Amino acid sequence: MFSNANQKIDLNHIFRFTLAMIMENQLIVGLFLVLIGIVLFVVGLYFFKKRQLIADTPTSKIRSIAMGLVEICGQVIPIKERLFRSPFTDKECVYYQFTVEEYRSSGKNSQWVTVKKGEQRGLFYLKDESGKVLIDPTGAQIDARKDFEYQSGLGKDPPEQVIRFLAANNLSHDGFFGLNKTMRYRETIIVPDEPLYIMGTAGENSMKTEGTEDHVDSIMIQKGKYEKHYYISDKSEKQILSNLALSTYGVWGVGVAFIIGGAILFFGLV
């Protein structure tokens, strides 16, 4: 009789303790979700402000740009001494960015691991029908499409140019017994004559002795000292605005869902 009573008391205590733990965890999870939602809202606000800035800034003709933040469009004109060769496609370019990744497994976990990455940026001109201006891409956010992507693996060798690049950098696509590793190679480039959209700061050219020309050497597009926006893209302004709108409302939508879900858990509505 006493043992049954004690058993009931113990079960009641365990039930209350378990319920308290669930409630406490529910509060923590709810608060965590709300915080994530707030962070996502702030990220969405960044996209929104960036979109508004691009939409509200008129596109200037290069010949008539004024000092300060400007928006220009035109074609890439290279400076011969500033051209690079892209690592995977061996093309002449004024900019390249690459990554080499290897698919690795450890126990039950598998993931892509970056084994090498890098980029090169060089001075170039941007030209429209009115003239051209020197561009220093240092510090710019570069938004460009991937020009090359290849995955090697069992029975699938990488291209010769990639193999040469790997060898020159003490890397190999071969694994145990000479079998190919599962690897992925990506490359983004900006080439001569490619159309670009640029939002940056028009300022005095501090590199007048480095490959510039008489009538276009007084101004250079660069990252401003006090202006945080410097953006270079191979997309049109219309595409950029559309992508930023999708990013803004997509992030906000997910953020609102997190905030509502977190509030429901926090206030114990479920």
Tens of pLDDT, residue by residue over 240-263, are: 999 999 999 999 999 999 898 888
Beta-carbon contacts of 64 under 8 Å, excluding residues fewer than 6 positions away, are 130
Could you identify the residue written with the tokens 């000092």?
67
The pLDDT of residue 206 is 77
**Considering only CA atoms, which of 99, 93, 50 is closest in space to residue 71?**
50
The pLDDT of residue 134 is 95
The pLDDT of residue 108 is 81
Which residues of the chain register pLDDT less than 50?
A: 1-9, 15, 19, 212, 214-215
The pLDDT of residue 263 is 85
d(CA 231, CA 222): 10
The pLDDT of residue 210 is 52
**Considering only CA atoms, which of 44, 50, 46 is closest in space to residue 253?**
44
Concatenated DSSP letters for 83-138? -EE-TTT--EESEEEEEEEEEEEETTEEEEEEEEEEEEE--EEEEETTEEEEE--T
Q: HSE on the CB side for 19, CA within 13 Å?
A: 7
- C-alpha Rg value of the chain to the nearest Å: 28
